[in-house]
Amino acid sequence: MSGIPYRVIRLVAGAAALLVSIYVFVSEAEVVPSVFGLACYVVGWYLAKRFGRPAAASGATPWLDTMLPFGIALFAIVPALVGPFVGGINVAVGIAIVLPLFAGMSLGLAFGPYADQKVALAR
């Protein structure tokens, strides 16, 4: 095999991340954080569809390298944002809120025109 199967990696990783989040929301019976998780999924899908471009063509940083610091920062502030609405939040739910952002990006790229290419976020 000469190339990296980006589409398969994105499908498996995106589906796994989404399933973990759904499991946490269902097992913890969390409604409000589920809405935040859904919003993160939609944002991730939009970012991938709107700004995803082949990295080789532009020389840009691959999308995961671009978004990982954003995801970590978002994970750090999610408990502060959601806490007033739910009265507190546990770590599993915090992760389950942010994880759909990356799931949305992975699945958005897997079903997009650049599914089998290394992708960067570009304008």
pTM of the prediction? 0.76
Specify if 95 maps to a domain.
yes
Residue with tokens 């063509």: 57
What pLDDT score was predicted for residue 38?
92
What is Dmax (Cα atoms) for the chain? 51
* For residues 74-97, average pLDDT: 75
- pLDDT of 113 > 80? The answer is yes
**Average pLDDT, rounded, for the chain:** 81
| Parent domain of 57 | 6-121
Query: What pLDDT shows up at residue 58?
Result: 66
**1 in a structural domain:** no
* Predicted confidence band of residue 91 (pLDDT cuts 50, 70, 90): confident
Residue 81 in this model has a pLDDT that exceeds 60: yes
pLDDT band at residue 65, thresholds of 50, 70 and 90? low
User: Rounded to 5 degrees, what angle do the CA atoms 7, 112, 65 make?
Assistant: 65
Count the domains in the chain.
Answer: 1
On the question of pLDDT at 31 being above 50, the answer is: yes
